[in-house]
Amino acid sequence: MAAEKKVILVTGGSGLVGKGLQHVVEQDKRADETWVFLSSKEADLTKQDETQAIFEKHRPTHVIHLAAKVGGLYKNLNSNLDFFRDNMAINDNVLNTSYKTGVRKVISCLSTCIFPDKTTFPVDETMIHNGAPHQSNYGYAYAKRMLDVQSRAYHAQHGRNFTSVVPTNVYGPHDNFNLEDGHVLPGLMHKVYMAKKEGSPLTVWGTGKPLRQFIFSRDLAKLIIWVMREYEEADPIILSVGEEDEVTVKDAALAVAEAMNFKGEVIFDTTKSDGQTKKTASIVKLRRYLPNFKFTPMKEGT
Amino acid sequence: MAAEKKVILVTGGSGLVGKGLQHVVEQDKRADETWVFLSSKEANLTSLEDTRAVFAKYKPTHVIHLAAMVGGLYRNLKYNLDFFRNNSAINDNVLSTSHETGVKKVVSSLSTCIFPNKTTYPIDETMIHNGPPHSSNFGYSHAKRMIDVLNQGYHTQHGCNFTSVIPTNVYGAFDNYNLEDGHVLPGLIHKVYMAKKEGTPLTVWGTGKPLRQFIYSHDLARLMIWVMRDYNEISPIILSVGEEEEVSIKEAAMAVVEAMDFKGEVIFDTTRADGQIKKTASNAKLRRYLPDFKFTPMKEAIKESCDWFVANYDTCRK
């Protein structure tokens, strides 16, 4: 294929995954690729005219669509309607503007938290719509599921190469380390830092028993770039370490403690809820495409 | 409860179900109810501006939301994206404008075709999201399902009383009798008319074995009005005859043949697809609320529908 110039617009480009992409792209500059990292300061993607304006300004040929209204458990619980409507607006504006301006490929970002609440494990790409999502964030979850519906519909009706990826738990620099709103690994890093500083024990919420697959943001970035360059299906693809690399929250906590040289006590506050016990996702599809992809060892990543 | 004045706006008011509502409302006029039947000529509900304008004009206190982009199998197959986007826009505009203007209740219309393709029977209201819909109309189906998601969201976040109903196969006067785009009963009525006129056999597509629950538009209208006045759940409710009233396409064809006094041969073209073999829906929830509701006997309702078609052949939708 001729190396036609690509202009890749990354919406939500200043977040955890966006920064991971920036890092990887710096290390692997290609002459035919111009990368544009968008932040919400530059355009409010819930507005059709602002989305249109930003596409006219940058004229992307490819879009990696990471922008979303996101939040922790409590924010979701109280605002499911807004999470649904705002994300539906953002997604429709980005996909429709991409379609109208002839963007060749759009890769949208889903999440394992949108899968059915009642399910068998491991979850795989065919199971996304097999039941209602968890009640706490159904607004966010359904809006993300509709990204898959729309991607496949743009493909069926217009032959567009719109698709989506499903990462598991991402971690890395530039994360959201807020203890209320953030996710488990950045939360642990922040807590260990505070515990060291204050000479107090590290208190991990829950029993430490739930299992998670953690993917380093830079590994995720490499995989998203591979999807952008080579993956041709409209159906989603899970991007994660394998089932065998699932770790407990306790092991994750100890990995962080070791990485930060924390010598104090580690306590498990079992009055706090554990969340889902497992969310095991299958990467059989990814491994069919990339049997040799090497993930950054977790010790190194943390 | 004091009889506060109600202004009930019916979107999609000129279609099959809208006309059924008009008929029932004429027979049961209430002093405290003003009914407004909207058609797409008056407002393009995919436009937020148009939607707001029409709400400002009529100031509804209640909305029965029937308007949608609809079509038969082939149109859905070709335009899944448009079916998804246009219906999502219509639904979001109607519900958000209802919320903004303080509408007390919205009753939206879903459909049994949005249920999971792979499922056990009978289907009930709790099963809507339990699997992907049939691939032929996934755009339409997902957009309809999101009405239920929006209803829950508006209720939890704003205390709105937005709900939905799920009819099975509706039939009656003012249907779409187009043989490509329309549904099975109006299609049969149109075909028997043509067969009589041209002295040819009646050819029914498929084996005639698939089973359906048919609900007369006047019965559906009476039930929707009950939902609008008295049903207070946010979760959807199936509006249909019971499972025991399920009939085969062959039986439906013979009922039309009898009503229209057709004496010719009836052939089944088994090279044509049957569609789903069954879509059996449970009306247990409806029966808990209305154990004594009487549906119009199918023979009578089909006769009325056929008579209407013959009398209105020149002007009806085909």
Instruction: State which of A209-218, A266-275, B81-90, B175-184 shows the largest mean pLDDT.
Output: B81-90
Average pLDDT over residues B135-155: 96
Query: Residue A126 belongs to what H/E stretch?
Result: none
Is A140 catalytic? The answer is yes
Cβ separation B81–A158 shorter than 8 A: yes
Tell me which chain B residues have a C-beta less than 8 angstroms from the C-beta of A154: 81
Pick from B139, B149, B158: CB nearest A84: B149
* Confidence (pLDDT) at A138: 95
Cβ separation B92–A81 shorter than 8 A: no
Chain A contact for B85 (CB, 8 A cutoff): yes
Q: Which of residues 110-139 of B touch A (CB under 8 A)?
A: 129-132, 138-139
The one catalytic residue in B58, B121, B140, B154 is B140
Pick from B80, B92, B149: CB nearest A157: B80
Between B148 and B277, whose confidence is greater?
B148
| pLDDT band with cut points at 50, 70 and 90 for residue B3 | low
Contact B162, B155 (CB under 8 A): yes
Cβ separation A138–B149 shorter than 8 A: yes
Question: How high does pLDDT run on average in chain A?
Answer: 93
CA distance B268 to B276: 17
* Confidence (pLDDT) at B157: 95
B318's tokens: 């085909």
* Confidence (pLDDT) at B273: 81
Pick from A80, A85, A146: CB nearest B156: A80
Indicate which of B82, B157, B162 best probes the interface with A, i.e. most A CBs within 10 Å of its own CB.
Answer: B157
Letter for the amino acid at A151? Answer: S
Lowest mean pLDDT among A45-49, A68-72, A113-117, A219-223: A68-72
pLDDT in tens, B236-277: 999 999 999 999 999 999 999 999 999 999 999 999 888 778
Sign of the Cα torsion A66, A68, A70, A76 reads negative
Residue B28, pLDDT above cutoff 90: no
Residue A182, pLDDT above cutoff 90: no
Tell me which chain B residues have a C-beta less than 8 angstroms from the C-beta of A139: 149, 153
Considering chain A, what percentage of its residues have pLDDT values greater than 70?
A: 99
* Confidence (pLDDT) at A181: 76
Return the C-alpha torsion angle A133, A139, A143, A144, nearest 10.
-50
| pLDDT band with cut points at 50, 70 and 90 for residue B2 | low
Cβ separation A81–B153 shorter than 8 A: yes
Tell me which chain A residues have a C-beta less than 8 angstroms from the C-beta of B74: none
Average pLDDT over residues A269-289: 89
Chain A contact for B48 (CB, 8 A cutoff): no
ipTM field: 0.90
Pick from A81, A131, A157: CB nearest B79: A157
Q: Rg of chain A over CA atoms, in angstroms?
A: 19
Tell me which chain A residues have a C-beta less than 8 angstroms from the C-beta of B92: 85, 88
Kindly tell me the burial class for residue B247, based on how many C-beta atoms sit within 10 Å of its own C-beta (0-12, 13-18, 19 or more): middle
Residue A100, pLDDT above cutoff 80: yes
| pLDDT band with cut points at 50, 70 and 90 for residue B103 | very high
Burial per residue of A101-139, b for 16 or more beta-carbon CB atoms within 10 angstroms, e otherwise? eebebbbbbbbbbbbbeeeeebbbbebbbbbbbbebbbb
Cβ separation A157–B78 shorter than 8 A: yes
Contact B85, B43 (CB under 8 A): no
Considering chain B, what percentage of its residues have pLDDT values greater than 70?
A: 99
| pLDDT band with cut points at 50, 70 and 90 for residue A226 | very high
Beta-carbon contacts of B202 under 8 Å, excluding residues fewer than 6 positions away, are: B188, B191, B192, B195, B253, B257, B262, B264, B265, B266, B267
Beta-carbon contacts of B242 under 8 Å, excluding residues fewer than 6 positions away, are: B213, B283, B287
Q: Which residue has the tokens 């519909």?
A: A153
pLDDT in tens, B43-84: 999 999 999 999 999 999 999 999 999 887 778 889 999 999
Cβ separation A154–B138 shorter than 8 A: no
Chain B contact for A158 (CB, 8 A cutoff): yes
* Confidence (pLDDT) at A70: 87
pTM of this structure? 0.92
Residue A243, pLDDT above cutoff 80: yes
Question: How high does pLDDT run on average in chain B?
Answer: 95
Residue A300, pLDDT above cutoff 90: no
* Confidence (pLDDT) at A203: 92
